[in-house]
Amino acid sequence: MPETRPPETLAAETLTAETLTPETLTPETLTPETLTYAAAVRTALDLLLSHDNRVFLAGEDIGVYGGAFGVTDGLLATYGEQRVRDTPISEDAIAGMAVGAAMTGLRPIVEMQFSDFVVNAMDPIVNQAAKLHFMYGGKVEVPMVLRAPGGGGTGAAAQHSQSLEAWFAHVPGLKVAVPATVQDACDLLLAAAADPNPVIVLEHKLLYKTEGSFIRPTQPNSVIEALGQARVTRQGDDLTIVGYSIMAARALEAAGHLAEQGIEADVIDLRSVRPIDHNTVRESVRRTGRLLVTHEAPKSAGVGAEVVAGVVESDALDYLLAPIERVCGLEAPMPYARELERAVIPQVDDVVQAAERLVKA
């Protein structure tokens, strides 16, 4: 890593300086290590803080407590209270502060304790952050990142377990990243921080403790192309399975079970739901002739419908051999009881059974 001034020096300065100068966009050849998803997010935050004085973090309990899920643990001790800011319990104030700070040249990364709480901050995010670049004729940028743990599976009930990505994906001016892997937990956050306008990064709370292979980046700008590029995580010729966030991982597991039956699936992790990489999905469908889309959010007006539309509105429609399947959350608020919660959220078996139906069709 390039030499930087000591963290205590950075923390004591006014946050106005140092434009990030790219040294290289060529990925380094590094030895993979095993890391948790949460540690990968923390690695990205540490890298951004150490390379750019304009970057600061803000959110409820992210400093002394280290965040509701421990993601920011240790960063306060390294960078100080100016760079890692505990905020009042007011999501509207947190988001509004981030919009103003971004407009005046800083690079705020704010955390919502649960993605559900972003409901209290929709005005500064949707009516301000998303629109100001357009309304000022391109003369204003709002380079802010909003991180939020989303999804169910922890028994936290209806007000702490939602998947709200489709809300934000509907808004022009916002980008929405949904990392599924340990590597993407870091890389998509770095790409979001490099974007000149607002990006929402939704991290599934069940993924924080998962482990995976990780190549540690040494430059924050080494993955700036990551937003809007889907990844094919498994190749097969019988059907295409598209997912994101935790359902990308479950789709990959389901593909393993399907392979035992001789069914080979193309598995696509979208990685971001605005923009959506329709080309990768279409290319796969042209080859397999079958499409299954899965997400944890309810089916109605979900991201899956947009993926399906991207196929139907293209020549990939002509290659379909069977009707498209969607495996999504049930149309119900998230229950507290674990067994009911599990019934509402799509599981690996649900994806397997839908794929079997699709191939037989």
Please, which pLDDT band fits residue 226 given cuts at 50, 70 and 90? confident
What is the reported pLDDT for 236? 98
Q: Are 158 and 168 in contact (CB under 8 A)?
A: no
Domain boundaries, the chain: 7-214, 231-360
Q: Are 96 and 146 in contact (CB under 8 A)?
A: no
Q: Are 25 and 224 in contact (CB under 8 A)?
A: yes
- pLDDT (average), residues 184-213: 97
Annotated active-site residue 91? The verdict is yes
Domains 7-214 and 231-360 share a fold: yes
Cα–Cα distance measured from residue 114 to residue 159, given in angstroms and rounded to the nearest whole number = 9
3-state SS class at 166? helix
Annotated active-site residue 160? The verdict is yes
What is the reported pLDDT for 218? 84
Alpha helices in 216-289 (DSSP H): 246-259, 278-288
Quote the tokens at residue 131.
């629109």
Cα–Cα distance measured from residue 56 to residue 144, given in angstroms and rounded to the nearest whole number = 10
- pLDDT (average), residues 117-137: 97
3-state SS class at 244? coil
What is the reported pLDDT for 30? 67
Position of tokens 């037989």?
360
Per cent of the chain over pLDDT 90 is 88
Domain 231-360: state its class. Answer: alpha beta
284, amino acid identity: S
pLDDT digits (tens, 9 = 90+) for 59-71: 999 999 999 999 9
What is the reported pLDDT for 220? 82
To the question of domain 7-214 being in CATH 3.40.50.970, the answer is yes
- 307 vs 31 pLDDT, higher one: 307
Q: Are 344 and 162 in contact (CB under 8 A)?
A: no
Question: 265-295 burial, b if ≥16 CB within 10 A, otherwise e?
Answer: bbbbbbbbbbebbbebbbbbbbebbbbbbbb
- What is the chain's length? 361
Q: Which of 91, 111, 203, 296 is catalytic?
A: 91
Q: Which of 60, 111, 133, 160 is catalytic?
A: 160
